[in-house]
């Protein structure tokens, strides 16, 4: 029986959704938005509701009435979470990526990877945009006018940024970086948040600090839905996310100039906060419930203070919020899917015949699956164990490498986006004793849940690559799979599917 060789289904997006409001309308049509008219409290209630939305696959809540704030100041929870609706599991991601709501995970990864091979298209400056409807400068700046939630019990403060674009530019202006990094309110015109030296935000902040200067930043909230995805994508250093986004859609993204700096922000933004990241003032930041699914009580670190010089916003602004934690939330959909595309591209560039890379969203980005053809020896003549070791080593060289703690290498008859099939493949093909290739002394990201206190400091850790290719003596063949898809003739499968409802099954 033929195996399900991966097919490149899509190389370009089909519909570019150009604002958060257009995105909300598209989601509403699919039954993926819940308007919440009842008054809710920013103090934990929005966080609790959003958390339960993730855990039940409910529609994204749009909170229209928030205690202590004028009506119209809104919050959107779970902007790119998964859905419990049949065939719409990844619809929020698909629409954000400009794809059909039923697009497969495979199609998403391929379309993101394909755009990386095209030349960047820089954003285009336009005169103005809705984010300039209200402009607050100097003493009028008041971050507290927005209904920023206290998301989790135990968070160090109210996190204003969980899904917005932190925009900074290298001092030579050649590299404009857009990324997501959490930012917590300190008071009406100050924030603090993670400025990690291994991330591009921290790299660029270091360039400015080395010149003895603060780093100009702009934080753009509620942009068109692709923006947060490109912000979470582990593109290499010196690649501007805005240019990649242009290449992705085949047209430039529109940007407007900030009021108090030369930075440019997506014109579609709902709220823009402008200011500088201090090179000498720090404040305590964290803890906060994190993507691995835990909150590390008692941990706080000194991070730079962000001083705000201007806030501009659209009338009736919408602040998107991610309540990080147990799967499935946006850290998993956004970083998992964009990261898979980046890794797929880099493995292929290095000669690995990878057909698909995927981080199952239920694993909080702790498992990364690479599929290879059953006859991979046509292009790489090596043992299964060697193949796994090479894949593991190459994956760790990517920017994302430290964030990849466990890799599974499995044949591409398995669809890694189907958790049940993947778990079965892992259970039946990974051999005790020889199926785990250990890579010692590799860089590890301290937010990986199971790192020790000392690994969090040294960033020196251990990774596993699971060889799920079966024993060597299976050779270049798999045993026949006993399943509907593999154990019955094609014409019979088609007939059964066509007759399914007439047998009496509802679905």
Ligand X SMILES: Cc1cc2nc3c(=O)[nH]c(=O)nc-3n(C[C@H](O)[C@H](O)[C@H](O)COP(=O)(O)O)c2cc1C
- How is residue 276 written in tokens? 């500088």
Q: Which distant-in-sequence residues (6+ apart) come within 8 Å of 91 by Cβ?
A: 27, 30, 32, 83, 85, 101, 102
**Does residue 287 have a cis peptide bond before it, meaning omega lies within 30 degrees of 0?**
yes
How far apart CA 485 and CA 317 sit, in angstroms, is 49
Q: Which distant-in-sequence residues (6+ apart) come within 8 Å of 252 by Cβ?
A: 121, 122, 123, 124, 246
Question: Does residue 322 interact with ligand X by CB under 6 A?
Answer: yes
Q: How far is CA 235 from the centre of its chain?
A: 12
- How is residue 24 written in tokens? 């909300």
How far apart CA 218 and CA 242 sit, in angstroms, is 14
Q: Report the site for ligand X in 174-193 (rule: CB under 6 A).
A: 177, 179-182
Which residue in the shown chain puts its C-beta closest to Mn ion?
200
Question: Does residue 331 interact with ligand X by CB under 6 A?
Answer: yes
Only one of the segments 83-91, 114-122, 228-236, 476-484 lies at the binding site for ligand X (rule: CB under 6 A); that segment is 228-236
Q: How far is the CB of 343 from Mn ion (least distance, A)?
A: 16
Q: Identify the H or E element spanning 219.
A: strand 215-221
Question: Does residue 334 interact with ligand X by CB under 6 A?
Answer: yes
Is the distance from CB of 87 to CB of 79 less than 8 angstroms? no
Question: Which partner, Mn ion, ligand X, none, binds residue 194 by CB below 5 to 8 Å per kind?
Answer: ligand X
Sole binder of ligand X in the list 13, 130, 232, 325 (CB under 6 A): 232
Only one of the segments 229-237, 260-268, 461-469, 489-497 lies at the binding site for ligand X (rule: CB under 6 A); that segment is 229-237
Question: Does residue 227 interact with ligand X by CB under 6 A?
Answer: no
Question: Which partner, ligand X, Mn ion, none, binds residue 162 by CB below 5 to 8 Å per kind?
Answer: ligand X
Q: How many residues bind Mn ion (CB under 5 A)?
A: 3
Sole binder of ligand X in the list 10, 32, 196, 270 (CB under 6 A): 196
Nearest to 288 by CA among 19, 47, 486: 47
Q: How far is the CB of 219 from ligand X (least distance, A)?
A: 13
Question: Which partner, ligand X, Mn ion, none, binds residue 113 by CB below 5 to 8 Å per kind?
Answer: none
Is the distance from CB of 175 to CB of 169 less than 8 angstroms? yes
Sole binder of Mn ion in the list 200, 389, 411, 429 (CB under 5 A): 200
How far apart CA 245 and CA 230 sit, in angstroms, is 7
Q: Which residue in 290, 329, 330, 342 is the catalytic one?
A: 290
Question: Which partner, Mn ion, ligand X, none, binds residue 17 by CB below 5 to 8 Å per kind?
Answer: none
Q: How far is the CB of 121 from ligand X (least distance, A)?
A: 18
Place of tokens 């696959």: 57
Question: Does residue 163 interact with ligand X by CB under 6 A?
Answer: yes
Only one of the segments 186-194, 200-208, 380-388, 499-507 lies at the binding site for Mn ion (rule: CB under 5 A); that segment is 200-208
Question: Does residue 330 interact with ligand X by CB under 6 A?
Answer: yes
Nearest to 77 by CA among 97, 62, 58: 62
Question: Which partner, ligand X, Mn ion, none, binds residue 182 by CB below 5 to 8 Å per kind?
Answer: ligand X
Question: Which partner, Mn ion, ligand X, none, binds residue 416 by CB below 5 to 8 Å per kind?
Answer: none
> What pairing do the DSSP bridges indicate for beta strands 460-468 and 406-411?
parallel
Question: Which partner, Mn ion, ligand X, none, binds residue 80 by CB below 5 to 8 Å per kind?
Answer: none
- Output the CA–CA distances (angstroms, integers) from residue 427 to 38, 337, 416, 466, 471, in the order listed: 47, 24, 14, 11, 13
Helices marked H in 294-407: 330, 336-349, 384-397
> What pairing do the DSSP bridges indicate for beta strands 134-137 and 301-313?
antiparallel
Question: Does residue 335 interact with ligand X by CB under 6 A?
Answer: yes
Sole binder of Mn ion in the list 96, 106, 169, 177 (CB under 5 A): 177
Q: Is 290 a catalytic residue?
A: yes
Question: Does residue 155 interact with ligand X by CB under 6 A?
Answer: no
Residues found near Mn ion in the complex (CB under 5 A): 177, 200, 235
Residues found near ligand X in the complex (CB under 6 A): 162-163, 177, 179-182, 194, 196, 199-201, 231-235, 322, 330-331, 334-335
Active-site amino acid positions = 290
């Amino acid at each position: 029986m033929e195996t399900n060789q991966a097919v490149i289904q899509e190389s370009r997006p089909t519909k570019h959704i150009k604002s958060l409001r257009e995105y909300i309308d598209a989601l509403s049509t699919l039954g993926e938005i819940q308007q919440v008219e009842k008054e809710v409290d920013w103090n934990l209630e929005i966080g609790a509701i959003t958390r339960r939305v993730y855990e039940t696959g409910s529609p994204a809540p749009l909170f229209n009435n928030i205690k202590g704030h004028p009506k119209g100041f809104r919050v959107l929870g779970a902007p790119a979470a998964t859905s419990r609706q049949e065939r719409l599991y990844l619809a929020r991601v698909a629409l954000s990526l400009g794809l059909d709501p039923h697009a497969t995970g495979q199609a998403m990864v391929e379309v993101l990877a394909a755009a990386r091979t095209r030349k960047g298209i820089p954003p285009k400056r336009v005169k103005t945009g809705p984010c300039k409807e209200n402009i607050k400068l100097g003493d009028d700046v008041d971050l507290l006018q927005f209904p920023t939630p206290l998301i989790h019990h135990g968070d160090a403060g109210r996190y204003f940024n969980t899904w917005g674009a932190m925009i900074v530019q290298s001092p030579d202006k050649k590299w404009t970086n857009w990324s997501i990094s959490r930012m917590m309110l300190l008071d009406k015109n100050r924030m603090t948040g993670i400025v990690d030296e291994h991330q591009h935000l921290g790299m660029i902040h270091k360039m400015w600090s080395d010149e003895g200067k603060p780093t100009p930043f702009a934080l753009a909230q509620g942009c068109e839905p692709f923006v947060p995805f490109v912000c979470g994508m582990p593109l290499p250093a010196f690649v501007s996310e805005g240019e990649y986004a242009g290449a992705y859609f085949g047209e430039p993204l529109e940007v407007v100039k900030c009021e108090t700096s030369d930075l440019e922000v997506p014109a579609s933004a709902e709220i823009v906060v402008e200011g500088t990241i201090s090179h000498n003032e720090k404040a305590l930041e964290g803890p906060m419930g994190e993507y691995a699914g835990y909150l590390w009580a008692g941990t706080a670190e000194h991070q730079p203070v962000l001083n705000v010089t201007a806030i501009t916003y659209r009338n009736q602004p919408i602040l998107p919020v991610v309540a990080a934690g147990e799967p499935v939330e946006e850290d998993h959909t956004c970083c998992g899917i964009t990261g898979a595309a980046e890794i797929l591209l880099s493995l292929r560039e290095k000669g690995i015949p990878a057909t698909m890379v995927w981080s199952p969203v239920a694993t909080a980005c702790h498992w990364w699956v690479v599929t290879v053809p059953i006859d991979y020896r046509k292009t790489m003549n090596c043992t299964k164990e060697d193949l796994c070791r090479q894949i593991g080593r190459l994956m760790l060289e990517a920017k994302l490498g430290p964030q990849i703690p466990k890799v599974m290498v499995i044949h591409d008859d398995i669809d890694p986006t189907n958790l049940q099939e993947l778990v079965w493949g892992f259970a039946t093909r990974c051999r005790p004793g020889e199926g785990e290739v250990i890579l010692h002394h590799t860089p590890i990201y301290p937010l990986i849940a199971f790192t020790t206190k000392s690994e969090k400091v040294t960033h020196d850790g251990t990774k596993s690559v699971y060889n799920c290719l079966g024993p060597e003596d299976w050779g270049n063949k798999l045993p026949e799979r006993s399943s509907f898809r593999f154990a019955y003739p094609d014409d019979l499968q088609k007939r059964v599917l066509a007759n399914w409802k007439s047998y009496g099954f509802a679905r």
